[in-house]
């Protein structure tokens, strides 16, 4: 039986394990998906050695960037993004070859593209982690200019206290790539001038639990077009399967 799995820390509630195991059952695929919660990325070789049946892995927080040092191949797209969330495990004789890809960018762009209109030309990307890099890359591939928002002074970013009503009017697509608002901390949200939002704004939240975050509720209150990350998750899970099975 082939094995697939998820590495990250902490894992807690995982969408991937339920999705993939249900798919394997529905399609009669002789495989099982497991969670591999590792406290350090240095434990990855141990996971591989103990599970010679592994054919593929997903990678989540905090290892999307750190995992790249272990890979034999990184796709040009994942290298440009600077983050990997899909690994294909190939067994070539006694050698194990790890190939890295990014399905976040595929899931995100396919999910947000139908929402975009001609006046959506600039975006704020909240957060600076691996997912935010994929989102920024995806938005730029769709023709939008992006600026990352950080809590700290970092090159090429702006800080939350600098986001004025004029900024959200100009950067009228806002994507939350932070965990703010995720269950169980559902009464948190990024610090933004929500009262300045209009129906010309899109607020997209990568969080999918709860279905409607406080970030989304506040946006909807002022007429913004809002969406959560569930569709992105489904699309990137489907893309993961394609990468595991030979799509380059």
The residue annotated as part of the active site, out of 46, 64, 66, 227, is: 64
Contact 88, 56 (CB under 8 A): yes
What distance in Å separates the CA atoms of residue 60 and residue 208, rounded to the nearest whole number?
15
- β-strand 86-92 against 54-59: which pairing, if any? antiparallel
Is 64 known to be catalytic?
yes
Contact between 3 and 54 (Cβ < 8 Å): yes
Task: Give the chain's radius of gyration (CA, Å).
Answer: 19
Q: How far apart are CA 226 and CA 10, in angstroms?
A: 28
Instruction: Give the neighbor-by-neighbor strand order of the sheet with 73-74.
Output: 31-37, 2-8, 54-59, 86-92, 95-101, 73-74
Q: String of b and e for 132-158 (b: at least 16 CB within 10 Å)? A: bbbbbbbbeeeebebbbbbeeeeeebb
Question: Which residues carry out catalysis?
Answer: 64
């Amino acid at each position: 039986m082939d094995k697939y799995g998820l590495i990250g820390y902490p894992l807690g509630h995982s969408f991937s394990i339920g999705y993939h195991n249900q798919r394997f059952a529905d399609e009669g695929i002789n495989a099982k998906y497991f969670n591999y919660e590792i406290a350090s990325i240095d434990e990855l070789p141990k996971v591989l050695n103990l599970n010679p049946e592994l054919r593929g892995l997903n990678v989540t927080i905090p290892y999307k960037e750190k995992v790249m040092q272990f890979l034999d191949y990184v796709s040009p797209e994942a290298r440009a993004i600077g983050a990997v969330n899909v690994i294909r495990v190939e067994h070539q004789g006694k050698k194990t070859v790890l190939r890295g890809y990014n399905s976040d960018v595929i899931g995100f762009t396919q999910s947000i593209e139908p929402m975009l209109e001609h006046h959506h030309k600039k975006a704020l990307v909240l957060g600076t982690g691996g997912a935010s890099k994929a989102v920024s890359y995806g938005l730029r591939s769709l023709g939008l200019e992006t600026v990352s928002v950080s809590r700290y002074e970092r090159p090429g970013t702006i800080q939350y206290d600098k986001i004025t009503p004029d900024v959200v009017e100009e950067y009228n697509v806002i994507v939350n790539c932070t965990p703010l608002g995720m269950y169980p901390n559902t009464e948190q949200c990024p610090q933004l001038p929500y009262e300045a939002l209009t129906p010309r704004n899109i607020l997209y939240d990568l969080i999918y639990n709860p279905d409607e975050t406080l970030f989304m509720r506040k946006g909807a209150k002022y007429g913004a077009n809002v969406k959560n990350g569930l569709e992105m998750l489904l699309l990137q899970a489907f893309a993961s399967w394609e990468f595991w099975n030979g799509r380059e």
